[in-house]
Amino acid sequence: MFGVVLTVGFHLYIGLQMPFASVQEWNVFCALSSLFFFGQNSYTLPTELHPGLALFLVVFLVLIPVFGQLFPSRVPFLFAYRPYAGNWFIGWHVVSKPGQAKLRKLKTSESMFTEDNWPVVDGMPPLSWMLTKDTKEFMRQFNQWGLIGQLVQFPHIRPVVPIVEKLEALHGWKSADDYRVFFHMQFLMVVHGWNLATGFNIRANAPYYAELQAQCQFEQGECLMIVHPPVSLIDHTVEWYVIDVADPSTYGGDGIIRGKTAYSELEKFQPIGMEVSHLEKWSSLGKKKQK
């Protein structure tokens, strides 16, 4: 019965947070399954278990999850049983104007430029207000800045704002119109399909970067990737790095911006209170990228 209460409480808690992914059906299914299989019906541990099955269960239900909790950057979050912790590989592509034209070479299920997917139709009945140019512009700005505004409430994401500001200075971008910020899930959804926000594809030295470059043929500085690796259960050090998709020497996370600091240091800031000076204090900057 303790397991039933724990399971139902766990999924109820997730549901009450109103997660932005479509996971409520998963919550309902798991809670009802727990009630039916273990609440309404009796359950006893098996008296006999095949050694092969026992080994399989120990490896995949104990060893891998424990290793994944301690070293989350080495194990995808689902295998480590860290669902909906918000503690995964999270990142943003920062793409210059010339890079955006090349980005459109990718074959996608729909445009990753969100506003392209909101047609403007004249003479529509009562819901026509949803399809206006203002709505399209709102969607563009929300995907560029609104998601960041929501996520920087979590301390380990707060370096993203000064990182973008530093990239503006490094590349001479005069305003936000000179580049576009894409949440990595936008890429996954329209290129890879259903993805559950794993983010494991954006880890350092992942094959993703070489393939993206092969498809788009960016010049250096046209498509950058800001990456926030997950934080360990016992080592609360927050890390971040920037990769240039056109420069394989940066695929390991070195060469542009790489930094780290204690989670407790980032907790001291308001969501957008971290400045470039703090970023520089805790980061190393690639010499060839500095001005």
Residues 6 or more apart whose CB falls under 8 angstroms from that of 260 comprise 237, 238, 239, 240, 282
C-alpha Rg value of the chain to the nearest Å = 22
What whole-number distance in Å separates Cα of residue 259 and Cα of residue 250?
A: 14
Q: Do the Cβ atoms of 29 and 15 come closer than 8 Å? A: no
Closest CA to 212 of 287, 106, 137, 136: 106
pTM here is 0.81
Of the listed ranges 20-34, 166-180, 213-227, 272-286, the least confidently predicted one is: 20-34
- What is the predicted pLDDT for the residue at 21? 61
- What is the predicted pLDDT for the residue at 279? 93
Neighbouring CB atoms inside 10 A of 9's CB total 11
Closest CA to 230 of 73, 80, 85, 84: 73
For residue 179, the Cα-to-chain-centroid distance in whole angstroms is 20
pLDDT (mean) for 138-148: 80
pLDDT (mean) for 114-122: 65
Q: Do the Cβ atoms of 282 and 259 come closer than 8 Å? A: yes
Residue 63 has pLDDT above 90, yes or no: yes
- What is the predicted pLDDT for the residue at 97? 93
State residue 195 phi and psi, 5-degree precision. Answer: -140, -15
Residues 6 or more apart whose CB falls under 8 angstroms from that of 107 comprise 191
Residue 25 has pLDDT above 90, yes or no: no
Split at pLDDT 50, 70, 90, the class of 290 is very low
Q: Do the Cβ atoms of 213 and 244 come closer than 8 Å? A: no
What whole-number distance in Å separates Cα of residue 271 and Cα of residue 72?
A: 24
- What is the predicted pLDDT for the residue at 286? 66
DSSP 41: S
Percent of the chain at pLDDT above 90? 46
Q: How do strand 257-262 and strand 90-96 relate by DSSP bridges?
A: unpaired
